[in-house]
Structure 1
Amino acid sequence: MGRETKIPEVFGRLVVEKRRTRLADLKEFPRYVLEYLINQFCPGDDFEAELGRVRRKLAENYASPADAPRILHELKQKRSLDLIARVEVRLETSEDKYWAQLAALNERHVHVDEGLVNKYPRLMGGMWGIAELTYDEAQVWKGKITPLLLSDFTPFQHGRIDISEFLEKRSQFTRDEWLALLVNTIGLNPEVLSFRQQLLTILRLVPMAERMVHLIELGPRETGKSYGYKNLSYYSYMLSGGRATPAALFVHGGTGKPGLVAQFDTLVFDEIANTEFKDPTATVSIFKDYMEYGNFSLGRFQVKGEASIVFIGNLDVLGNQPHEKYDHLFEPLPEELVDTALFERIHGFLPGWEMPKLTDKSFAEGYGFTLDYFAELLHLLRGSLLPTDPSTRYVLRNAKGRDVEAIHKVVRGLMKLLHPDGRATDEELAEYVAFAVEARQRVKDQLSVLAPGEYPKYTMEFEIAGKRTLVEPPERARRRSLRIPSEPQVGVVVGLAVGGDGAGSLQVIEVVAQKGNGALHRLGSMGKSMKESVKAAYEYVSHRRKSLQIVSELKGGYDLSVLALQGAIAKEGPSAGLAFAVGIVSALTHRKVRNDVAMTGEITLHGNILGIGGVAPKIAAARDAGARVVILPKENEREVRELPADVCRGVQLVFVEKAEEALKEVLV
């Protein structure tokens, strides 16, 4: 029996041919709504005619804000209507009363019986379904006519799942057959994806199948990052850009109403670069507590949630790797989220750049679970335990602190999705552990770029059945190969730096000056001490403006933009101060900087050049990049003279105590 024949044979009406649900004229509806209706009204005898019934039902019963006046008029005339809509119920404690709201009708005060809320508790977070509304102008609440009543509700969701029956059905499929079924369920075509890409697609589902799993995925546009989450489950909530407030996310400071993390299984931030966080310092602080412990305090309220957090965003690529313009792979996130303690709480970083662009062939053709059934299945798996803990079958090596819990969580999620009975071979389990370790390793690699002192670079391994495997993310091969400029330029200076691995690297500084009001813009995800170094250089140049032959008042007449470009290393530390000062003077005097000179040194407000660390790898990096002259602090001269001759061979070393000495050497 072929897979496409076996699937409907085993699961019956729990599956649907996904090509039948891909209807361009109905894409405004959530997919689980559409699949529920198709499954109910299109048994397959005459699909086109049956689909016509679905279209008519949507045309007659779907409620949208544009139709609200007409529907309310019709409801008043007929006294009762069935509507396809999203209904959300809230409890007004000050009134000791439940109210239903239908956003499609712009109505917030719809009477609802408490028994209906007890029958469908998910109404408190919002559910799609068929709402039976009645109109009775005799209904008065606190002196106001409130004529609308939600008299009944039929949710678009599957009923109770028999886990034993589900496991028996799952046992009839091989792992690869089951993997393809899940990919089809999401709406993607497994035939055009490699095994690794299929596994990456399933990894996106782990936060829905395991409590408190926090992931990030960055990749090119149109690769299906949000497609796997959008409309897949009514237990998930997606924020697409816009403004996010602590009240909406966590708890309302006035009413104590729990936010989204307490209402849903998964909270997805789509277009994370375009998301604006109100009071970002407080929001990030709450995020860190919540992502670590699942509970948090805001004012006098304490709230506990179990929602997984997923960040999705766009990232440019070069070839099949993240673009070399990024110093670290968290760079596309909003600046207020760039916090190492927050990133440490992310369990896995998905390489979205490995997924292909969506084309007509990317979408599912074969059978997949109906999404109302699949949403309930994910929710059920989330609260269930595997027969045996998979972590007892493997040993992690060189995993530190939060690494262990992160890897265990992701492996459990993958096992629940692919082997809910726990029966994976050692080879299969090794594939999942390798994927989980890689996802976590990617997080730690970026932390080591952002803060090498706090997060030194290391590589994790795991062992299964005596076989030891070292895991390195493929993008580790990505290196930014900065070279010295091809010719002297205004405002372009070659600096030097040392990465977390101790290797030297070029650090190209670019400065642009334009008429303005004295603003100083520091670009390139600089760390705190580097920002202070830019400020020190700026104040030095402002103070010595006349002796440096700068004709205009700096703070009153110019805006400066200072950019630090660096190859795969953290942009941190004070040793670029001299280069910043040279770039600022060059930009303000329009004098070019020699392109064959590299420099390093910390600067003070009076232009003194202080010693730096990592002098040997910096000289080597300058030599290897083709620099002819290296300017160094006088304080480092003795140390340099004791270096092996090979380190300095081929370059002229110039030692300086004052910034003016360096300016005379490099300005054309």
Structure 2
Amino acid sequence: MKALDTKLNEHFGGKVVRKDLTKLVKGNAIVPIYVLEYLLGQYCATSDEETILQGVETVKNIITKHFVHRDEAQIIKSTVREKGSHRIIDKISVKLNDREDQYEAYFANLGLNRIPIADSVIREHQKLLSSGVWCILTLGYVSTDEKGTSPWVIETIKPIQISISNLEEFKEGRKSFSKEEWMDVLLQTIGLNPDEFTFRSKLLQLTRLVPFVENNYNLIELGPKGTGKSHIFSELSPHGMLISGGEVSKAKLFVNNSSGEIGLVGYWDVVAYDEFAGKTKSTDRGLVDIMKNYMANKSFSRGTQVYGASASMVFVGNTDHSVPYMLKHSNLFDALPKDYYDTAFLDRIHAYLPGWEVQKLRNDMFTSDYGFIVDYLAEILKELRKEDRTNEYSKYFELSDSITTRDKTAIIKTCAGLAKILYPHGEVSEVEMKELLDFAIECRKRVKLQLQNMDETFEEVDFSYTIKSSGKKVEIETLEVLEHLKPIFEKQVIESEIKSEDAIETKVTTPITLSAGQKIIRDNQTGISYDLLFGAYLLGTTDFKVVDPYVRLPYQLRNFMELAKLISEKKDPDTEVKLHLVTSNNEDYIEGAKDAFEQMTYSLESIGIIFTYEFDENIHDRSIVMNNGWKIVLGRGLDIWQKTGGWYDVNEYIQEKRLCKACEVTFVK
């Protein structure tokens, strides 16, 4: 067991589960993860392997015997009739029949309708009155000759929901984990392998949880398919409802005027709209107007009655074009339906998550380690919803006066939500709060920049803040603007050919001024290559010494060969250059590395590079030292990119397309 798993079991024993177990028990059952983990939590919340195996079999049997598959509904009904009663798992919704003055249950999979249910159950579990809640119940059958009387009886019913959680105990347990450990625990809880994600990528995933801890929080995420945008809202909490964007109506969402029934916003903490994008989708303009009022004022009216609610709104959908295309030809809201392509509506969005930064999910991105039982975490997030931490940032920072009230509200709600998720115990340093504030500002600035693009009446806003301890002003820019509209790394033009009018070719050399200093690369930044970073500094060199302790795995060897290729392009074609690598290794990799280096030696010799290498177990520095007087200090060594999707991913072959890891490169004369 990993050290983090051991630590998690030590401080949260009985509230964690191994995440690969869910796949073992799910089978073909179309049931949310929180339902399965509720059951796994009853039988497998332990680190004892034998108990886990027994528990998995128990849960499998429960799912097999009691979960209602639609195509087996008649068999279940027959079983209940023959036995007199039977325990089942189904999704139940309840409506009030005012003519009969009774509540009636509707079974999603079993297909039973209008089954009487006790008033006391509804008083205890009011969410049953919404679109449906997964329940474990005992269904009875009592034969009767009385006309109009249903033979079906709900004997016992329990919504699948963990008992109320101890928030103080949760906060106390959090104190034993570092920021990095806690982020990894949360990533594992939602089923992801934290080793495959950078800090920023983890933050993107965890921001999807903010609507669960902040009342009336409005989030949008648009990006490519296959990145798991809707997964959290459908699978990981009984307090969230995912609906198709095309199935929304005023009555379903807010209130039914004819019956007076409150819609989804009255029962759920989060209402998420799946497949929200699509220019040709038909929408109800009246619904958009009600949503605008609700998202701004936390209230809505239909008829003469005004209602209040705290449900957060989430909109997820797919983009039609690449980010550079949208920035150049339209805007980042380009894919939305016509009636939602409305600046007044979009201005209510607190944060725009850049879905194009989220990598498509691969098998190695899922975890088999321990995480919280998702239902337990869902209850904790619901409890944290009651806390107000929106002014916590002001202990360290002061936002620019030019930031509007709406912009400020958006920023501090995102910041507060992330603080609740990452630091529920309230212990946040200035550096840690700065990370959250920077990200929150960027998510709101992304919205505002697009609004300015769509409507020139939106004034430019100075999205900056002052650090109180130093008086330093910090300006925030979105990553896509830095990449595509204000590139940090301009390609240096070394030589260009100009044809004169009389067709005589004249070679013109553009002088390059190289200077000492530093270049900073952000997590998930694209458009970066070795050539853009330091290509010009390699000119005039005949002797290279590369120091990097980690050149052993296939992608690290690929990086080194890409550096060698760049050196061959920068050197004089008629001269040989020396390239010496100093690296470290261990018993698991050293033989494979030696074989690779020997093959490199013969290969590189053919392009005028004399390659040598040595192993030194004591090196920590990462640098390229050259005999032209320059030294390049590489904060992460040559390993500046995140993992690609493999041989069939174009990013494997084009450095500028790869997502970067945060790092610094320093140039010393």
Q: TM-score, normalised by structure 1?
A: 0.68
Name the residue aligned to 2:269.
265
Change (3 A) 1:351 1:239: same
Which residue in the other structure is 2:73 paired with?
68
Q: Which structure shows the higher strand fraction?
A: 1
SS in structure 1 of the partner of residue 246 of structure 2: strand
The whole-number CA distance in structure 2 between the counterparts of 1:139 and 1:277 is 51
Q: How does 1:379-394 map to 2 (within 5 A)?
A: 379-386=382-389, 389-394=392-397
Q: C-alpha distance in 2, partners of 1:359/1:214?
A: 29
Contact residue 281 and residue 337 of structure 2 kept, 8 A: no
Task: Report the CA distance shift for 1:239/1:389 in structure 2 as closer, same or farther (over 3 A).
Answer: same
Distance 1:121 1:165 in 2: 27
* Farther off after superposition, 281-290 or 105-114: 105-114
Q: 1:137 aligns with which of 140, 143, 155?
A: 143
Q: Is the 2:279–2:335 contact (alpha carbons within 8 Å) kept by the matching residues of 1?
A: no
- Taking the TM superposition and a 5 Å limit, the aligned residue runs for 1:235-384 are 235-274=239-278, 280-316=284-320, 318=322, 326-384=329-387
Question: In structure 1, what is the equivalent of residue 584 of structure 2?
Answer: none
Percentage of identical aligned residues: 35
1:92 and 1:298 map into 2 onto residues whose CA distance is: 22
The alignment status of 1:474 with 2:479, answered yes or no, reads: yes
Residue identity opposite 1:136 in structure 2:
V
Conserved in 2, the CA contact under 8 Å of 1:17 and 1:366? yes
Using the alignment, how far apart are the partners of 1:21 and 1:84 within structure 2? 17
Alpha-carbon distance in structure 2 between the residues aligned to 1:405 and 1:95: 47
Aligned partner of 1:410: which letter?
T
Determine the C-alpha separation between the residues in 1 that align with 2:415 and 2:230.
Answer: 22
Give distance in 2, aligned partners of 1:322 and 1:174: 40
Equivalent residue for 1:431?
A: 435
**Structure 1, residues 363-385: CA drift from partner, whole Å, max 9, x if none?**
12221110111111111111234
Structure 2 residue corresponding to 1:40, chosen from 23, 42, 47: 42
Which whole-Å CA distance do the structure 1 matches of 2:384 and 2:320 have between them? Answer: 35
For 2:349 and 2:38, locate their aligned partners in 1 and report how far apart those are by CA, in whole Å. Answer: 34
**Cα 1:326–1:114 shift into 2, 3 Å:** farther
Q: Name the counterpart of 2:422.
A: 418
Asked whether 1:98 is paired with 2:103, we answer yes
> Does residue 13 of structure 1 match 2:21?
no
C-alpha contact (below 8 Å) 1:317/1:353 kept by paired residues: no
Q: Is 1:148 the equivalent of 2:142? A: no
Conservation of the 8 A alpha-carbon contact between 1:100 and 1:150: no
Q: Residues 324 and 293 of structure 1: is their aligned pair in 2 closer, same or farther, counting only changes over 3 Å?
A: closer
What's the counterpart of residue 497 of structure 1? none
Q: Deviations over 1:610-668 (max 9, x none)?
A: xxxxxxxxxxxxxxxxxxxxxxxxxxxxxxxxxxxxxxxxxxxxxxxxxxxxxxxxxxx
Tell me which residue corresponds to 2:449: 445
Q: Which residue of 1 aligns with 2:33?
A: 31
8 Å CA contact 1:99–1:110 kept in 2: the answer is: yes
Task: Measure, in 1, the Cα distance between the counterparts of 2:475 and 2:452.
Answer: 18
In structure 2, distance between residues paired with 1:463 and 1:278: 45
In the TM superposition, residue 39 of structure 1 has moved relative to its aligned partner by 2.2
Distance 1:18 1:351 in 2: 27
Q: CA RMSD in A?
A: 2.4
* Unaligned residue ranges in structure 1 (runs of 5+): 482-668
Deviation at 1:54, TM superposition (A): 1.9
Residue of structure 2 equivalent to 1:162: 166
- Report if aligned partners of 2:282, 2:337 keep a CA contact under 8 Å in 1: no
Residue 462 of structure 2: aligned partner: 459
**SS in structure 2 opposite 1:225?**
coil
Alpha-carbon distance change, 49 to 166 in structure 1, aligned in 2, over 3 angstroms: closer
**Alignment partner of 1:189 is 2:190:** no
* CA pair 19-385 structure 1, distance change in 2 beyond 3 A: same
SS in 1 for 2:255: coil
Match of residue 633 from structure 2: none
What do residues 527-559 of structure 1 show as CA deviations (whole Å, max 9, x unaligned)?
xxxxxxxxxxxxxxxxxxxxxxxxxxxxxxxxx
Which amino acid in structure 1 is aligned with residue 437 of structure 2?
Answer: V
Residues 1:77 and 2:82 aligned together:
yes
- The amino acid of 1:131's aligned partner reads L
What is the rounded CA distance, in whole Å, between the counterparts of 2:29 and 2:142 in structure 1? Answer: 35
Match of 2:215 among 208, 211, 229: 211
Q: Residues 201 and 228 of structure 1 are in contact (CA less than 8 Å); yes or no, is this contact kept in structure 2?
A: no
2:390 and 2:357 mapped to 1: Cα distance? Answer: 33
Shift of 1:177: 0.9
- SS of 1:105's equivalent in the other structure is coil
The residue that corresponds to 1:88 in the other structure is: 93
Assess, with a 3 A threshold, how the Cα gap between structure 1 residues 447 and 113 changes in structure 2: closer, same or farther: same
**Equivalent residues of 1:321, 1:353 under 8 A apart:** no
Query: Structure 1's 412 and 20: CA in aligned 2 closer, same or farther, altered over 3 A?
Result: same
Deviation at 1:81, TM superposition (A): 1.0
- Partner residue of 1:654? none
In structure 2, the residue corresponding to 1:146 is in which secondary structure? coil
201-210 vs 219-228, which deviates more?
A: 219-228
Tell me the CA shift for residue 71 of structure 1: 1.6
Residues 472/388 of structure 1: CA separation in 2 closer, same or farther (3 Å cut) = closer
Q: Kindly report which structure 2 residues correspond to 1:624-635, keeping only aligned pairs within 5 A, or say none.
A: none
Tell me whether 1:22 sits opposite 2:23 in the alignment.
Answer: yes
1:40 aligned partner, one-letter code: Q
Asked whether the 8 Å contact 1:391–1:408 carries over to 2, the reply is no
Counterpart in the other structure of 1:660: none
Shift of 1:416: 0.8
Q: Could you tell me whether the CA contact under 8 Å between 2:211 and 2:270 is conserved in 1?
A: yes
Deviations 1:42-101 (A, max 9, x none): 354154454233222211111122222222222222221100111222333443322222
- Structure 1 counterpart SS, 2:79: helix
Q: Is the 8 A contact 2:279 2:338 kept in 1?
A: no
Deviation at 1:260, TM superposition (A): 0.9
Aligned equivalents of 1:169, 1:387: Cα separation in 2 = 23
Contact kept, 8 Å, 1:344 with 1:443, in 2: the verdict is: yes
> Is the alpha carbon distance of 1:29 and 1:359 closer, same or farther for their aligned partners in structure 2, counting shifts above 3 Å?
same
Are 1:114 and 2:116 an aligned pair?
Answer: no
Which amino acid is 1:335 matched to?
K
Q: Distance in 1 between matches of 2:387 and 2:144?
A: 48
Correspondent of 2:134 among 128, 134, 139: 128
Change (3 A) 1:322 1:480: farther
Q: 1:60 to 1:258 in 2, by over 3 A?
A: same
Distance in 2, Cα, partners of 1:349 & 1:199: 13
Whole-Å separation in 2 of the counterparts to 1:118 and 1:462 = 48
Structure 2 residue ranges without an equivalent (≥5): 488-669
Distance in 2, matches of 1:15 and 1:200, equals 23
In structure 2, C-alpha distance between the alignment counterparts of 1:127 and 1:146, rounded to whole Å: 22
Alpha carbons of 1:264 and 1:322: their partners in 2 closer, same or farther (altered >3 Å)? farther
TM-score (norm 2): 0.68
- C-alpha displacement at 1:421, in angstroms? 2.3
| Alignment of 1:58 onto 2:66 | no
Pair 223,278 (structure 1): closer, same or farther in 2 beyond 3 Å: closer
Partner Cα separation in structure 1 for residue 278 and residue 243 of structure 2: 11
C-alpha contact (below 8 Å) 1:290/1:296 kept by paired residues: yes
Indicate how the Cα distance of structure 1 residues 325 and 230 shifts in structure 2: closer, same or farther if over 3 A, else same: farther
Classify the secondary structure of the residue corresponding to 1:420: coil
1:340 and 1:434 map into 2 onto residues whose CA distance is 24
Q: 1:36 to 1:385 in 2, by over 3 A?
A: same
CA distance in 2, matches of 1:139, 1:274: 54
Letter in 2 for 1:62: F
> Paired residues, what number?
477
